Amino acid sequence: MGCPCLASPYVTHLGSVDAEASEPASLRRIGIAVLSAGLAVFALLYAPQPVLPQIAAEFRLDPGAASLTVTVTTAAVALAVVPVATLSEAVGRRPVMLGSIVAAVVIGVLAPFAPSFGALVALRAVQGVAIAGLPATAMAYLAEEIGATSMGSLMGVYVAGTTVGGMGGRLVAGLVADDVVLSGAGWRGGLVAVAVMSALCGVLVAWLLPASRRHQRQPLRVAPLVAGLRSAVTDPVLYGPYVVAVVMVGAFVAVYNAIGFRLVAEPFEVSPAVAALVFLAYAVGGVCSAAAGRIADRVGRPVVLLSALVMTAVGIVMTLPDDLGWVLAGLAVLTGAFFAAHAVASGWVGARANAGARGQASSVYLFSYYLGSSVGGWLGSTVYGVWGWSALVATTCCWLATAVVAVLVASWLPSRSPAVNRESSREVCDVDSCGQARTSR
């Protein structure tokens, strides 16, 4: 899956930039760089997901325990992303972005050769801290270095990289692990292959990404962060999208963590390579998220978000029959609805938050997102391992029901007075699919 981006707590609006930063050649370089960065990091984040059955078999684990290789990484991202974003104010955006890629790739090469499952999990946790550097700084870097008119398009390029990376990392790991690409590679070879792919992308980033010219390094300041965070957690309306982030991504990751175990077992008994192809359903997500954003602008976010949550549940229920066609169709519906809901929920945060607290509100949403991914992914895998697929479907649908209630409550609360967010009327950094910034003036 792609990733929501974190606006810097200190960046509240986009200023004009010099002509050189807005030249087509410069924008192309930055575009290729951020595309490669997103691909490099998010290919590594979820790479173990398609090979969880092989990991479980080698270490004699149940699905819940095996899923810790994904859970601990996303949990580490959730915990590290805000501190890393704050750190980038002092050391600079580009060094943090490059350091994130280098560290994540190095750990990605080492982790598959861990001598024990505990060591593998520990390395994946450290890798999550490294991965956090990119979503923590990417949006702030673009906001500072390019013009407002190009912000939306380049954020779209970055988001495309995170989405393609999330899908590509899973596909490469699954295909290599099943000896489709390299005989005898196994799950370890699959994860190394993803790390090599990410390393090549990292070389492009180091070559093409310009050094920050507009960022002014500044000492870490606690007071504005605390004030903005207080605003972000005391606005009751924002708890609607926060709850959606937790339970929606939790249900989504739980299903995709467990689907590999289900497909390689009876009655399907497909190969791991074929099971990995289910991640091609991610292609549906980009189309649905863009459409959801446009519709939400016309009819309102709560209506579209509620519809997307219902369709997410419908997609999960469609996977119940022991029929591969129904399972694949259900995954496509689930994936499209998930990305649509995520686009609308994250956009709601960007539009609702006070101008001075937009970074902190985005950080709370991002924390909720990865908290749901880690806890929901592990809990759902455990439910599947103990009680089977029907229990997982029932559990995730109950989670989604709580999100529906949260959205209904948030939509009934009074809207913010226009005077409260006057600066936001001049500029709103909205968030589209997986964090795509859409800036309007």
pLDDT at 172 over 60: yes
Q: How far apart are CA 313 and CA 245, in angstroms?
A: 15
Lowest mean pLDDT among 267-271, 288-292, 391-395, 416-420: 416-420
For residue 331, give every residue at least 6 positions away whose Cβ sits within 8 Å of its Cβ, in sequence order, or none.
Answer: 255, 259, 278, 281, 315, 319
Q: How far apart are CA 341 and CA 335, in angstroms?
A: 10
Q: 156: closest CA among 35, 20, 292, 291?
A: 35
Write the CATH number for 54: 1.20.1250.20
Q: Please check whether residue 435 lies inside any domain of the structure.
A: no
For CA atoms 139, 145, 150, 153, give the dihedral sign: negative
Q: Are residues 252 and 399 in the same domain?
A: yes
CB 26 within 8 A of CB 341: no
Q: Please check whether residue 277 lies inside any domain of the structure.
A: yes
Amino acid, res. 196: V
Tell me the pLDDT tens digit for each residue of 262-304. Answer: 999 999 998 888 888 898 888 887 678 768 877 887 888 899 9
Q: Are residues 393 and 274 in the same domain?
A: yes
Q: Are residues 241 and 297 in the same domain?
A: yes
**What pTM value is reported for the model?**
0.79
pLDDT at 221 over 80: no
Mean pLDDT of 227-252: 90
Total domains in the chain come to: 2
Q: Of the residues 212, 243, 263, which one is the last residue of a structural domain?
A: 212
| pLDDT band, very low/low/confident/very high, at 160 (cuts 50, 70, 90) | confident
Q: Are residues 69 and 199 in the same domain?
A: yes
Lowest mean pLDDT among 119-128, 338-347, 421-430: 421-430
Q: Of the residues 183, 212, 241, which one is the last residue of a structural domain?
A: 212
Q: Are residues 200 and 244 in the same domain?
A: no
Q: Are residues 289 and 415 in the same domain?
A: yes
End-to-end Cα, the chain, rounded Å: 30
Q: Are residues 203 and 288 in the same domain?
A: no
**What is the residue range of 402's domain?**
225-424
Q: Please check whether residue 174 lies inside any domain of the structure.
A: yes
As a residue count, the chain comes to 441
Q: Are residues 82 and 118 in the same domain?
A: yes
User: Which residues are 430's β-sheet partners?
Assistant: 438
b/e string for 195-207 if b means 16 or more Cβ within 10 A? bebbbebbebbee
